Amino acid sequence: MNDGENSDPVSFEEYSIVAQGLQKSFGKLKVLSDLSVKIPRGTTYCLLGPNGSGKTTFIRAVAGLLRLDGGDLSVLGEPVSNVCRVYPRIGYMTQHKALYPDLTLQENMEFYAGLYGIEGARMSERISELLEMVDLADHSQRITGALSGGMYQRLSLACTLIHEPDLLLLDEPTVGVDPILREAFWRFFDDLAEKGSTILITTHLMDEAERCKIVGYMRAGRMLAEGSPEELKRLAGLQPILKLSVKEPEASATRLAAGGFDASVVEGELHVAIEEHRKLKEVLDLVEPLDLRLVEPTLGDAFLRLAEEVQR
């Protein structure tokens, strides 16, 4: 049923997750308020947002672990009330590690493989493949409880991938994982997405978000902004900044402002916003820089700006 090879991409729906007006409160605390999200198949979708903004809650709703107060939600074409029918195609990595500390790595993998009916030679093959991927092959006979934090996280990811799921729900999968492996993970995720898997991932790391096709920025249970990283930066009104060292910054700033540029002096440095790259030359005609660098806005800047706007 979930053999990766013969899954026909056309037969799947266009969207893996469609959420419309989700509502959820815990007591008086409104955790999801009118949240609508559509996640196309074969996409890496990143949920960003401050602690407590409802990211985990949304993922749990998708996994069918929450009783929603309102809204429509369908997962892999099934209404969420029937989501258990598509459980064999979902891989869910919780924010907890969900491993048995008293089993060996191999035994943990075997357990999760068994739940999905993977056994025999296929199981051994799959397990060694995944342990290789998360760079734990040498540790397969160790007791899981004795692993380091990052290793734990890697094993948890390997267990989640055991059945080649079509939809991956990954709640902060790279916490505590070192940069080299993180890079490897992301290449792996890109690979999976290319093959048609949908990946819903949460993270607090902007460089990871930047790698996703779509980024959704949540705050207080709402979707504040959504789009590709580039779209979001534009949405936040962020422009590349040209940072210049000049002899007389104040005078230069006045001159640039007169020429219609957004220029300011920050700690003795002249900052000029560049709407379009071809405007660079005009700026350089007006000043004589000793040194200069062009700083592209980051997604982090975009969210800081968006958050400020919401506050106002």
Partner 1 sequence: MMDLGFALNSKRVLVVARRVVRQLKRDRRTIGLITFAPIFLMILFGYALSGEMSGINLGIVDFGGQDDLTDHLASVDDFDLLRLGSESDAEKLIVEGRLHGAVVIRDNEVRILLDGSSPQITSSIMTEVKTGLLPKNGLRNGEMIGGEGESGGAVNVASLGHDGGIGGVGGHGILGSDVGIGRNDALGEYSAVEAQSPEIVQRYVYGYDLEMMDSVGPAVLGLVVFFFTFITAAISFLRERTQGSLEKFMVSPLSRPEMVAGYLLGFSLFALLQSATTFLVVVFVFGVPMNGNPITAFAVILLLGAGALVLGAFFSNFAKTEFQVVQFIPMVILPQVVLSGVWWPLESIPAFIRPISYILPLTYSSDALRAVMLKGAGISDILVPDLLFLAGFFVIVFGAATLMLKREVG
Ligand X SMILES: Nc1ncnc2c1ncn2[C@@H]1O[C@H](COP(=O)(O)OP(=O)(O)OP(=O)(O)O)[C@@H](O)[C@H]1O
Region of residue 24 (left: phi > 0; alpha: psi -120 to 50; beta: else): beta
> Does the protein bind ligand X through residue 54 (CB under 6 A)?
yes
Q: 52 touches which of Mg ion, partner 1, ligand X, none (CB within 5 to 8 A by kind)? A: ligand X
Site for ligand X in 10-49 (CB under 6 A): 26, 29, 31, 49
3-state secondary structure of 188: helix
CA distances from 243 to 49, 248, 251, 281 (A): 29, 14, 15, 14
Residue matched to tokens 């505590």: 176
- 43 vs 106, beta carbon nearer partner 1: 106
> Does the protein bind ligand X through residue 57 (CB under 6 A)?
yes
- Cα separation, 234 vs 124, whole angstroms: 48
- Taking residues 101 to 130 in sequence order and writing x for each that binds partner 1 by CB under 8 A, - otherwise, the string is xxx---x---xx-xxxx-x-----------
Site for partner 1 in 126-185 (CB under 8 A): 143, 169
- Residue 122 CA to chain centroid, in angstroms? 31
Site for ligand X in 60-119 (CB under 6 A): 95
Give the range of 37-45, 77-85, 198-206, 254-262 binding partner 1 by CB under 8 A: 77-85
What is the total count of residues that contact partner 1 (CB under 8 A)? 35
Which strand ranges, in their side-by-side order, compose the sheet holding 29-40?
29-40, 15-26, 70-75, 78-79
Of 84, 251, 294, 310, the residue at the interface with partner 1 (CB under 8 A) is 84
> Does the protein bind ligand X through residue 216 (CB under 6 A)?
no
Q: Which residues contact 309 (CB under 8 A, 6 or more apart)?
A: 236
> Does the protein bind ligand X through residue 51 (CB under 6 A)?
yes
Both tokens of 302, joined, read 């975009």
- Cα separation, 42 vs 198, whole angstroms: 4
Both tokens of 67, joined, read 């009783």
Q: Which residues contact 287 (CB under 8 A, 6 or more apart)?
A: 244, 246, 252, 255, 256, 270
- Residue 229 CA to chain centroid, in angstroms? 11
> Does the protein bind ligand X through residue 173 (CB under 6 A)?
no
- Residue 266 CA to chain centroid, in angstroms? 33
Q: Nearest residue to Mg ion, using CB? A: 56
Of 20, 56, 94, 264, the residue at the interface with Mg ion (CB under 5 A) is 56
Q: 57 touches which of Mg ion, ligand X, partner 1, none (CB within 5 to 8 A by kind)? A: ligand X
From the CB of 125, what's the least distance to ligand X, in Å?
A: 34
- 80 vs 302, beta carbon nearer partner 1: 80
- Cα separation, 266 vs 269, whole angstroms: 5
**Which spans of this chain sit near partner 1 (rule: CB under 8 A)?**
60, 63-67, 81-84, 87-88, 90, 92-103, 107, 111-112, 114-117, 119, 143, 169
**Which spans of this chain sit near ligand X (rule: CB under 6 A)?**
26, 29, 31, 49, 51-57, 95
